[in-house]
Amino acid sequence: LGLLVQTSSPTTKSIAATLAATYVLNLLAPSLASTFALVPERTIPFCVWNVFTAGYYEQYLASAVVNVLGTLYLGRCLEPIWGAEELVRFVVLVNLAVGCAAFVTMYLLYVATYSQFYIFAKFSGFHGVLVALTVAVRQQLPLDRVPLPNPLYAVLKIRNKDVPGLYCAGAAALCVFSGAEHHHIGLYLFVLYGAFFGWAYLRYFQPLRRRDANGNEIVQIGDDRREMSFAAQFPEFL
């Protein structure tokens, strides 16, 4: 943790500190979760902002630890390549898209089933943005190994290209084996939509500055390489 903090930029530290601060805030005033976490029944018309704030609001210790450490590591990888402005833009846009999509999904599930379970669910966390950041690191540094602590580093040879799939699979398993509790359904929706919107932004919308054959700087929108096709995002055996 100390090394991650020391080697991270102020921008990355600020994002991680925000997540840690919201977890502490939730401990001190748990009732605030009804305002800042995503509760579909309250989103319209009372708390429309929660589609945005839910992504930064941490309710559970395990979630906060994973998201803070993940943000420090992934931000340290991406910010030297992208710059602070692009990192913040990516985080903000993906977080908003994930929150809106999760809200619409839960509301449609309520309409389809008439189960109030879906509109009174209360969930939050940085999972959507975090998995989107793993997609971005997969794009930039696919073959680098994830720096796990010893002895895991010697045993598990996990590369950045493997992380998004493992994250999605882990979230799905947690949702199933927990009995599909509402906050785990929310976590899975955040992860699923985060992976998709992260990929979509990188594939079609991210401005990329490059130099042509004459040395002139040009701006390309999106990454059209085969490695960033939709099919290429799935494990090779699929």
* pLDDT by position in tens, the chain (length 238): 667 777 788 999 999 999 999 999 999 999 999 999 999 999 988 899 999 999 999 999 999 999 999 999 999 999 999 999 999 999 999 999 999 999 999 999 999 998 888 899 899 999 999 999 999 999 999 889 888 777 877 788 888 999 999 999 998 888 877 766 656 788 889 999 999 999 999 999 999 877 767 777 788 899 998 889 888 887 765 4
Distance of alpha carbon 105 from the chain centroid: 17
CATH of the domain at 146: 1.20.1540.10
Q: What is the pLDDT of residue 181?
A: 60
Question: In terms of residue numbers, what domain contains 89?
Answer: 2-233
* Helix or strand (DSSP H, E) at 229: none
Asked if the structure places residue 238 within a domain, the reply is no
92 to 56, 82, 98, 178, 227: CA distances (angstroms): 10, 15, 10, 30, 25
Q: What is the pLDDT of residue 214?
A: 73
Q: What is the pLDDT of residue 237?
A: 52
CB-CB contact of 100 with 49 (8 Å): no
Q: What is the pLDDT of residue 139?
A: 94
Asked if the structure places residue 200 within a domain, the reply is yes
Query: Can you read off the two tokens belonging to residue 180?
Result: 């599909």
Which of 148, 137, 194 is CA-nearest to residue 168? 194
Q: What is the pLDDT of residue 8?
A: 85
Count of domains observed in the chain: 1
Q: What is the pLDDT of residue 79?
A: 94
What CA dihedral angle connects 16, 99, 203 and 68, to 10 degrees? 20
Residue reference for tokens 């502490």: 24
Asked if the structure places residue 197 within a domain, the reply is yes
Give the amino acid at 211.
R
Backbone angles phi, psi at 221, to 5 degrees: -100, 115
Q: What is the pLDDT of residue 179?
A: 65
Asked if the structure places residue 170 within a domain, the reply is yes
Give the amino acid at 230.
F
Q: For the packed helices 182-200 and 163-177, what is the interaxial angle rounded to 10 degrees?
A: 160
